[in-house]
């Protein structure tokens, strides 16, 4: 008897927990296919019999969606590429070379994790505007072009690669570049994909840098661009706003469905610093 009671109360809690986290997403998706009449209706409808997929087209046309999308893709790809090019060599040097000042330099890298973007965006803006880089892609790429967390994680992983392998490669006259990208990187595949996932999610979702470092529409990314949807029709067009958000969410959702396990693993890495 007590067992049944316990099991059913667990069931109730499970359902409540599930609903708390599921309903907002359901509500977003549902609203995105409602008509304006259904949006204004109260009490709200929980189902829609005639979904209005035109909302997505309206959202697409109300703002320069393709322009923002292009910017988002360019910035995300460039940031990922830049991080690959800066993080890999640095991690390799910190893991496998002895050089003067190594300790101090690595200490500096770790210290920068204590400096969040929200603290230094003002001087960063001033520096970039003095370099005439505001409203160019550079302004969004450069401040994020490297990652202390990435260097730290990859260094750990590079230290696991057997020394003999590197020595052997050097005897074969392989250049350091080749060693890095042909030996070290493939050996650390799981760390690299973890970092790439975290990086993709972070950059794609990033609102902060794109908000503070752009003053025109030129390089605005989707998260900032999409906010102007809330002005459509004087701010009552919730179905259009939600349609835009569903579109922005799709790549992340697809990534989550495909690589759920890896994403969870990636985020649990960030908790064991």
Partner 1 sequence: MAIFEKKAEKNHSLAHTAESIKEKFFSGKKAGASTLLRKITPYAMVRPALSIFMVFMIFSAIYMLYISFFDWNMIKDMKFVGLDNYIKMFTDPDFLLVMSNTFQYMFMMVPMSMILSLAIAMYLRKNTFINRLLQNVMFLPTIVSLVSISFVWIWIMDSDKGLLNYLLSFFGVEAINWLGDPQFAMFSVVLVNVWKSLGYYVLIFVAALQGIPSYLYEAAALDKAKPMTVFFKITLPMLSPTLFFLTLTSTIGSFKTFESISLMTNGGPMESTNTLVFELYRQGFVFYNTGYAAAMGVFLMALIGLMTFLYFKVLQKKVHYQ
Q: Quick check: helix, strand or coil at residue 49? A: coil
Contact with partner 1 (CB under 8 A): which of 33, 63, 90, 161?
Answer: 90
Measure the CA–CA gap between 182 and 184, rounded to whole angstroms.
6
> Which residues ranging from 132 to 171 are in contact with partner 1 (CB under 8 A)?
142-143, 145-146, 148, 151, 171
Contact with partner 1 (CB under 8 A): which of 115, 168, 254, 258?
Answer: 115
Q: Which residue has the tokens 């007590």?
A: 2
Cα distances (angstroms) measured from residue 123 to each of 83, 126, 128, 192, 213 = 22, 5, 8, 31, 11
Cβ atoms of 184 and 92 closer than 8 Å: yes
> Which residues ranging from 219 to 238 are in contact with partner 1 (CB under 8 A)?
223-224, 226-227, 230, 238
Q: Which is nearer to partner 1, 74 or 247 (CB)?
A: 247
Cβ atoms of 59 and 65 closer than 8 Å: yes
> Which residues ranging from 9 to 68 are in contact with partner 1 (CB under 8 A)?
13-14, 17-18, 20-25, 27-28, 31, 39-44
Q: Which stretch binds partner 1 (CB under 8 A): 61-69, 119-127, 159-167, 181-189?
A: 119-127
Helix axes 238-269, 189-205, angle to 10 degrees: 150
Q: Which stretch binds partner 1 (CB under 8 A): 50-58, 159-167, 186-194, 256-264?
A: 256-264
Of 65, 59, 68, the C-alpha closest to 218 is 68
Contact with partner 1 (CB under 8 A): which of 80, 136, 211, 217?
Answer: 211
């Amino acid at each position: 008897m007590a067992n049944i009671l316990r099991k059913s109360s667990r069931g109730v809690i499970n359902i409540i927990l599930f609903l708390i986290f599921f309903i907002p997403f359901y509500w977003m998706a549902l609203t995105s296919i409602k008509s304006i009449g259904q949006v204004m209706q109260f009490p709200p409808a929980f189902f829609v019999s005639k979904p209005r997929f035109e909302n997505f087209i309206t959202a697409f046309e109300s703002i320069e969606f393709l322009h923002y999308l292009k910017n988002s893709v360019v910035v995300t790809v460039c940031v990922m590429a830049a991080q690959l090019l800066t993080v890999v060599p640095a991690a390799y040097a910190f893991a496998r070379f002895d050089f003067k000042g190594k300790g101090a330099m690595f200490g500096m890298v770790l210290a920068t994790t204590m400096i969040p973007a929200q603290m230094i965006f003002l001087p960063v803006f001033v520096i970039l505007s003095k370099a005439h880089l505001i409203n160019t892609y550079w302004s969004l790429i450069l401040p994020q072009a490297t990652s202390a967390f990435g260097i730290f994680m990859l260094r750990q992983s590079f230290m696991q690669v057997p020394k003999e392998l590197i020595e052997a490669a050097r005897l074969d006259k392989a250049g350091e570049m080749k060693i890095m990208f042909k030996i070290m990187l493939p050996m650390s595949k799981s760390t690299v994909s973890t970092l790439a996932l975290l990086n993709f999610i972070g950059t794609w979702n990033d609102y902060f840098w794109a908000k503070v470092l752009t003053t025109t529409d030129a390089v605005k990314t989707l998260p900032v661009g999409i906010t102007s949807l809330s002005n459509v029709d004087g701010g009552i067009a919730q179905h259009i706003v939600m349609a835009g958000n569903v579109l922005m969410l799709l790549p992340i959702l697809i990534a989550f469905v495909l690589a759920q396990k890896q994403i969870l693993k990636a985020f649990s890495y960030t908790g064991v610093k």
